[in-house]
Each structure stands twice: as structure tokens, then as C-alpha cells.
Chain A
């Protein structure tokens, strides 16, 4: 019974997948599935970074803004004649820098992550608009579209990127000291301090890594749109948080996993896709997704309460 409950998100995903396969013939096609993968890859990659942050008992509301900033800086570099690879790196590093700033503010000023990133959400969005003058960047080399739309032997390239990022974060969490400290800080920050763990350093590093992943997501988004949009990624932070939480992450910290987050991300992706295919009004989609978040978390809480 316990295992069934723990596997609930995964079972939900399977049921959702099966139901959609039966409900509409347009679902189980290569074109549709690869479009689901492409659509979900952006916020799935963000959600992987968010997983680390949420396990450490933090949250990052500024990832939507950082995504826009990363995409913008990367495409601007390309439009100024930099090679594509350099542009992508610029985008990723931009994300990393803003993540680092978030982490530094949280640990040095000792302000809650919610407040700090609420502030930087506005600041970074504003800066993106200032830098771009509010205008999207269009002069991008054609080949850049490969990042978001290309395929390698029939597999969407973004899927490979997502898998690589997932393995990376999984490795961080399960096989590095940083990952261990992330759980320790999130589970009981006082115990971590008492054990002599450099809490501030590692907290900052966690936000920086989240920023790097968000920067990459920003470049994928830019590649899919073939523009650098200062207004990109609005509301994505909530999608990313929702994915983590549906996958069993707890905002109280100390809990969460890469597989859980990916399952959560795909549940949200399939819901959106299913609603589209079934011709459900997009306004209702928001209602459904919101309800699923609350449902998923309350089921999880119930399981934990019973386990105690």
C-alpha cells in the first residue's frame, strides 16, 4: 500500500497517458509526442534546478525573468556576430550569474528566499526590458534553431538535453557532497550549521546551479521562438515549482527527486496537450492544472501523516 502511494505520481502519469491514447487518435503520434517533449523541455529543465532549490528548503520566483534575461543575452551576443556556441554559453552563464546573485543576497542579507527572489523577479525582468529597450532580438543565425527544434537520429535534441540535465542533477543530488548538504540544509538547517557544514556557500552554489539550468532553458526557448524576448518565460516559475511539488518535493525542504520532478513536469505537459487535443477551452486548462497541483500535494500530505 505504501509503495502504491509513493508511486502515485508515476501511476497518474501512466493512466493519463493511456487515457489520452484512447480518447484521441491524435495523441499517440510521433509528431504530437515530440511536440509535447519540446513544449515541456523548457520548464522541465528549469524545474530540475528548482528541485535542488526546493530540497534546500528554498524557492526561486525569479527563474521566469532569468530565463528571459539568459535568452536575451545569448541572442544579443549572436546578433553581434558571436558564434552560436558562444551565444549559448553566454545565455547559460547569464543565468548562472543571476542565480549566484540570488544566493548571495539570501545568505548574506539573511532574507527569506521568497522575498529575495520576488524582488529579483522584478529587477531582472526590468533589466531585460531596459537592455533590449523592450524590443525582441531577431538577427539570429538560422542554425540556432537546431537547439530547440533539431533532431538527432529522429530523437528531439531537447530530449537529449533534458536527459543530460536530469542525469547531471541526479548525480549532484545522490553522489556529491553538495547534494548531501542540500538535503541536510533543507531537512534541518540548524543541525547543518551545528555540524559545521558551510551552509552559506552551498546555498549560494545551489541557486547558481539553478540559474545555469534556467539560462540553458532560456536559450532553448529563444531557439524555439527564434527571437530573444525580454518578456519570455512569464509565469514559468510557477510551472517549475508545480512540477517539483507534484513530483513529491516539499516546500518545507529535505524532500524531492529528479524522477519525481520529471514525472510532475510531464503530467503538466500531458494535461496541457490533452486539453488542446480534446478541444478543451484553454481557460479551463488553467483551472484543471491548478486543481491537479492542490490534489497532488494533499494526497502527498495525507500519505506522510499516515506514515508518522
Chain B
């Protein structure tokens, strides 16, 4: 056994990212690790690669218990990782990146550029990579950058290589190239862990599969015996569904209409409508263009084509200010980075989009009233409105972000992954807030990668795949149906082939 994990745990503050991670990988095996977004796959890999330290559980490398304090220690054992987002030095050349941190030196202790470039050239030729050793990494496509990382791993003689969703940014042809490399590595006795959640690419590479759900390893089986149907069943699970179910309200007039919206490169020809009182779910894999669709509607990206109506008025939205003026609100995916001013008091965050003032002079009393109302209405748990927003728990931070738009009186809400990083109890409270908003006549578009959530909350579910709208499903559909639309190139016949 090359690598063995037993009951590995990892917490970030109050959030449990991994509670029971089990995994065993043999040499010369391609091991797929699958699961929905947020199931704990990346966390598990980062623990293996020494980027995170585990909080509990056991990890064995070649039968011996190990504990990597940093990626260098993991690399010394022969573990390398090809990252989702490139971790290369963009201004250096391909060759310099391959040898970064392990430069070859001549007998005077100086960097031997000639030897390094020769070695890099030979490596690239051997694998027929479309690269040149002299190229600067910043010029490369995402696929090219991954090839450089692969070169690094091969050069360092790694005996375990981790691919973290390598194909999410690759084209079809590049994907095949990566698969070929993966097979070559396996045949030489290298262990490969391959993270993915795309159904269509599995059979051709995997030997074994381990499935994670909600931070737990739920199943491990040989690829040959596991059916696609069962694989999906293990990934999505069942038990969460009973926690909260929204009672839909009869929808009112149309509040948001998007017609043939194209926002290159991620959103292609999307049309949709959301009516008052409706919560419309937007499902799809990472990279399907859901966030980008929200950004385009909110004026953060400029669509190249298409029209947007708010109510019965066609609007031109050039920037978020326009969007806010038309009553659109975006609760962004990355709360910490774009939603919240962490260092500022709760009250300032609540009032940010609608500072109570006259002739530019603040009305502190009105601001305090506004904050007090928001804290009460959204049940934000805090000491007082003067507390720094960053000190709150994830769920309460999210409520502060939402209350900013409630205070503004927004009518169209774009929720992008509203429950990311918040615990179950707070999730239900966020749903209740969304439900209340809808009941009062707001129109809600909700992006979520957690399928059970969409089934609980949404009146209907739109599914995006590779920038397009792949289809619409009723709110009472199944996770299998959503996954089918989100992952497969076309209709159901190909499901049988898998």
C-alpha cells in the first residue's frame, strides 16, 4: 500500500471540512476521488500534499505513519500535486518553473541554466508536450500550466501524483492528452489520485474510485464493478432532504427577464425569467458559468449580447451601481472577499448600500434603527451592531450581507452559493430569510452546488453546462436528473453507455 488514510479530520474554525476521510492508494493505480462541490475532496488532497495539517486521524505512507508539516516534506517523500489553480511563477520560464526550488547547480554552486534547459527540453520531447523550455509561463493557457506542473512532478521522481480537477479548465483535446499522461505514469508504477466530478471522463482513466460526501468517505470500490447510477447515489446521498422544505407561493408578475445573454467566455446565450415570489435554482458544475451569469446580470462583467428587463422596463446595466439602482442585489459566492467589510462594524455593513443621510450628512440614529431592525428580522446573533462583522460566524456574516440588500429594498436577489461554509442550522435560517423575501414579493435566483438544497428551496431548477442553459426541471425533481443535465453532453441515451 502506497498511501493510507484512516478517519482523517480537518476543521476550519467552526466549520468541519473533513470528518472521516478514508482512502487507500496502491502503486500503479489510478484512483478517482469523487464527490459534490464541498464534499471535502480538495481538503483531503491538501492534507496528503502537506498544505494543511490534519486535526485527527491517521495517515500512512508506505506503511509508516507520517505527518507533513509543509509541502516540502511531502515532496521529499515523493508526493506531488497538480493544482486546480496554477501555483507557478508566471514571470519565469517553463524550465525554471520545472526546477523551481531545486535548481541544478554546477561545481561552483551557481545555477546551471544550460543543464536545466537541456533536461527540461528532453522531458518535454519525451512526452510530446506542446511546450518550449524557454517560454514564459504567463503566456501559457491553463492546460499548458498544468503540463508544466506535471513536468515538475515527473522530474522530481514523484511516486504519487495528485491531480486536483485537472480537466475543469482544459479543452477536449487537452483532456485526452492529460489522460494519456496519467496512463503512462500508472504503467510506470506511479500512484495517481485524480479528483473529478465529471461523469463523462471517468471510465477511461480510473481503476478505483472513492466517494466523499459531506466530509466523509462513504464508499470505495473498483471502477469496473460500480455503476454510474450507484456512483451518483453515493455522491448525493439522501438524508439531508428532510431538514427544510419550502412551501411555494403562487408567483406574481415577472421581475427579471434575461434574453439571449452572452458574456464571453463563460456565459453563452442564456435566457431566463424570474417572477415575484419565486425562487429559481441554478444548478451546474463548477465552471458551468453560473457565477459568471450572476456577474453579467449585476453589471460586474459586460455582456457582449442580450437584453435584461427588470419589471417591465428594459435596462442597460453597465456597472453594479446601475444594477443596485434597478433594485438588483448580489449576495456573492465569496463572502469574505466581495461581500463583507470584515474590519468594519455590523451597522456600517448593513447600511453600506443605503447609508441614511441627507445632503451627504449621516443620520446615525436612522442607521442604528436600520441595524437594530435587521438584527431582529434576520436573527443575526451578535453582541451589538458595533461589533466587527468579521467576528461573526459564517452564517451570521451571510445574514449581514443579506440585510444590506434588505435595508436597500432590493427586489431581485441573486444568491450565489448562499450556504457555502455555514453550518446546517444557519443554512435553514438563510433559507427562511429567502422564503420570507419571496413571500414579500422578491424574485430570487439561487446558484447552488448542493443539490439537496436546491430541491428543498427552489420552485424550479435551471441547469447550466459549459455556459449554456442545459435545461429546466421542476422543483420536485431528483438529484440524478440534475446531475444528468449538468454532466452529460446530450440526452439520456449516453447514460446507458457509461
Chain A residues with a Cβ under 8 A of chain B: 174-181, 183-184, 187-188, 190-198, 254-255
Instruction: Pick the contact of A176: B324, B339, B361 (CB < 8 A).
Output: B361
Q: Would you call A187 and B337 a contact (CB within 8 A)?
A: no
Q: Would you call B357 and A191 a contact (CB within 8 A)?
A: no
Q: Which residues of B contact A194 (CB under 8 A)?
A: 298, 300, 320, 330, 332, 338-339
Q: Closest approach, in angstroms, between the C-beta of B413 and any C-beta of chain A?
A: 13
Residue of B nearest to A196 (CB): B324
Q: Would you call A190 and B338 a contact (CB within 8 A)?
A: yes
CA gap between A183 and B323 in the complex, in Å: 22
Instruction: Pick the contact of B360: A178, A187, A195 (CB < 8 A).
Output: A178
CA gap between A175 and B362 in the complex, in Å: 5
- Whether, in the assembled complex, B127 has its beta carbon less than 8 Å from a beta carbon of chain A, the answer is no
Q: Would you call A196 and B362 a contact (CB within 8 A)?
A: no
Binary contact readout B376-397 vs A (1 if CB under 8 angstroms, 0 otherwise): 0000000000000000000000
Q: Would you call B323 and A196 a contact (CB within 8 A)?
A: yes
Q: Would you call A198 and B321 a contact (CB within 8 A)?
A: yes
Q: Would you call A254 and B332 a contact (CB within 8 A)?
A: no
Instruction: Pick the contact of A191: B298, B321, B340 (CB < 8 A).
Output: B340
- Whether, in the assembled complex, B355 has its beta carbon less than 8 Å from a beta carbon of chain A, the answer is yes
What are 23 pairs between A and B in contact, CB < 8 Å? A175-B364, A176-B357, A176-B362, A177-B357, A177-B360, A177-B362, A178-B360, A179-B362, A180-B348, A180-B352, A180-B355, A184-B344, A187-B341, A188-B337, A191-B340, A194-B300, A194-B339, A195-B320, A195-B353, A196-B320, A196-B321, A196-B324, A198-B321
CA gap between A180 and B347 in the complex, in Å: 11
Chain B residues with a Cβ under 8 A of chain A: 298, 300, 320-321, 323-325, 330, 332, 337-344, 348-349, 351-353, 355, 357, 360-362, 364, 404
Q: Would you call A192 and B360 a contact (CB within 8 A)?
A: no
Q: Which residues of A contact B323 (CB under 8 A)?
A: 196
Q: Would you call A183 and B338 a contact (CB within 8 A)?
A: no
Q: Which residues of B contact A175 (CB under 8 A)?
A: 361-362, 364
Q: Would you call A188 and B341 a contact (CB within 8 A)?
A: yes
Q: Which residues of A contact B364 (CB under 8 A)?
A: 175
Instruction: Pick the contact of B352: A174, A178, A184 (CB < 8 A).
Output: A184
Q: Would you call B344 and A187 a contact (CB within 8 A)?
A: yes
Q: Which residues of A contact B362 (CB under 8 A)?
A: 174-177, 179-180
Q: Which residues of A contact B361 (CB under 8 A)?
A: 175-177
Q: Which residues of A contact B298 (CB under 8 A)?
A: 194
Q: Would you call B343 and A187 a contact (CB within 8 A)?
A: yes
Residue of A nearest to B410 (CB): A196
Q: Closest approach, in angstroms, between the C-beta of A18 and any C-beta of chain B?
A: 33
Q: Which residues of A contact B338 (CB under 8 A)?
A: 188, 190-191, 194
- Besides A176-B360, A177-B360, A198-B321, 7 more A-B contacts (Cβ < 8 Å) are A177-B355, A177-B357, A184-B348, A191-B349, A194-B300, A195-B404, A196-B320
CA gap between A195 and B328 in the complex, in Å: 10
Q: Which residues of A contact B330 (CB under 8 A)?
A: 194
CA gap between A174 and B355 in the complex, in Å: 13
CA gap between A146 and B416 in the complex, in Å: 61
Q: Which residues of B contact A195 (CB under 8 A)?
A: 320, 324, 352-353, 404
Q: Which residues of A contact B339 (CB under 8 A)?
A: 191, 194
Q: Would you call A183 and B348 a contact (CB within 8 A)?
A: yes
Q: Would you call A191 and B341 a contact (CB within 8 A)?
A: yes
Q: Which residues of A contact B352 (CB under 8 A)?
A: 180, 184, 191-192, 195, 197
CA gap between A174 and B348 in the complex, in Å: 11
CA gap between A188 and B300 in the complex, in Å: 16
Q: Which residues of B contact A179 (CB under 8 A)?
A: 362
Residue of B nearest to A304 (CB): B343
The 7 lowest CB-CB distance pairs between A and B, nearest first, are A196-B324, A187-B341, A195-B353, A190-B338, A188-B341, A195-B352, A177-B357
Q: Closest approach, in angstroms, between the C-beta of B64 and any C-beta of chain A?
A: 36
Q: Closest approach, in angstroms, between the C-beta of B337 and any C-beta of chain A?
A: 6
Q: Which residues of B contact A254 (CB under 8 A)?
A: 341, 343-344
Q: Closest approach, in angstroms, between the C-beta of B291 and any C-beta of chain A?
A: 13
CA gap between A179 and B361 in the complex, in Å: 9
CA gap between A256 and B343 in the complex, in Å: 12
Q: Would you call A184 and B325 a contact (CB within 8 A)?
A: no
Q: Which residues of B contact A196 (CB under 8 A)?
A: 320-321, 323-325, 353
Q: Which residues of B contact A197 (CB under 8 A)?
A: 321, 352-353
CA gap between A183 and B349 in the complex, in Å: 11
Q: Would you call B343 and A255 a contact (CB within 8 A)?
A: yes
CA gap between A73 and B66 in the complex, in Å: 71
CA gap between A181 and B341 in the complex, in Å: 11
Q: Which residues of A contact B320 (CB under 8 A)?
A: 193-196
Q: Would you call B351 and A187 a contact (CB within 8 A)?
A: no
Q: Closest approach, in angstroms, between the C-beta of A171 and any C-beta of chain B?
A: 9
Q: Closest approach, in angstroms, between the C-beta of B347 and any C-beta of chain A?
A: 10
Most interface-central of B325, B349, B352 (chain A CB within 10 A): B352
Q: Would you call A188 and B348 a contact (CB within 8 A)?
A: no
Q: Closest approach, in angstroms, between the C-beta of A2 and any C-beta of chain B?
A: 13
Q: Would you call B344 and A190 a contact (CB within 8 A)?
A: no
CA gap between A194 and B361 in the complex, in Å: 22
Residue of A nearest to B404 (CB): A195
Q: Which residues of B contact A187 (CB under 8 A)?
A: 341-344
Instruction: Pick the contact of A180: B324, B337, B340, B351 (CB < 8 A).
Output: B351
Q: Closest approach, in angstroms, between the C-beta of B340 and any C-beta of chain A?
A: 6
Q: Closest approach, in angstroms, between the C-beta of A190 and any C-beta of chain B?
A: 4
Q: Which residues of B contact A191 (CB under 8 A)?
A: 338-341, 349, 352
CA gap between A255 and B404 in the complex, in Å: 22
CA gap between A184 and B344 in the complex, in Å: 8
CA gap between A197 and B349 in the complex, in Å: 12
Q: Closest approach, in angstroms, between the C-beta of A251 and any C-beta of chain B?
A: 14
Q: Which residues of A contact B332 (CB under 8 A)?
A: 194
Q: Closest approach, in angstroms, between the C-beta of A97 and any C-beta of chain B?
A: 22
Q: Closest approach, in angstroms, between the C-beta of B322 and any C-beta of chain A?
A: 8
CA gap between A177 and B339 in the complex, in Å: 19
CA gap between A195 and B355 in the complex, in Å: 11
CA gap between A308 and B361 in the complex, in Å: 33
CA gap between A254 and B348 in the complex, in Å: 12
CA gap between A281 and B488 in the complex, in Å: 79
Q: Which residues of A contact B344 (CB under 8 A)?
A: 183-184, 187, 254
CA gap between A188 and B323 in the complex, in Å: 19
Residue of A nearest to B362 (CB): A175
Given A196-B321, A196-B325, answer yes or no on A190-B343 (Cβ-Cβ < 8 Å): no
Q: Which residues of A contact B355 (CB under 8 A)?
A: 177, 180-181
CA gap between A170 and B348 in the complex, in Å: 17
CA gap between A193 and B324 in the complex, in Å: 10
CA gap between A179 and B364 in the complex, in Å: 13
Q: Closest approach, in angstroms, between the C-beta of B315 and any C-beta of chain A?
A: 14
Q: Which residues of A contact B340 (CB under 8 A)?
A: 188, 191
CA gap between A196 and B348 in the complex, in Å: 14
Q: Which residues of B contact A190 (CB under 8 A)?
A: 337-338
Q: Closest approach, in angstroms, between the C-beta of B394 and any C-beta of chain A?
A: 16
CA gap between A173 and B352 in the complex, in Å: 15
Residue of B nearest to A187 (CB): B341
CA gap between A241 and B361 in the complex, in Å: 28
CA gap between A194 and B332 in the complex, in Å: 9
CA gap between A97 and B386 in the complex, in Å: 37
CA gap between A174 and B351 in the complex, in Å: 14
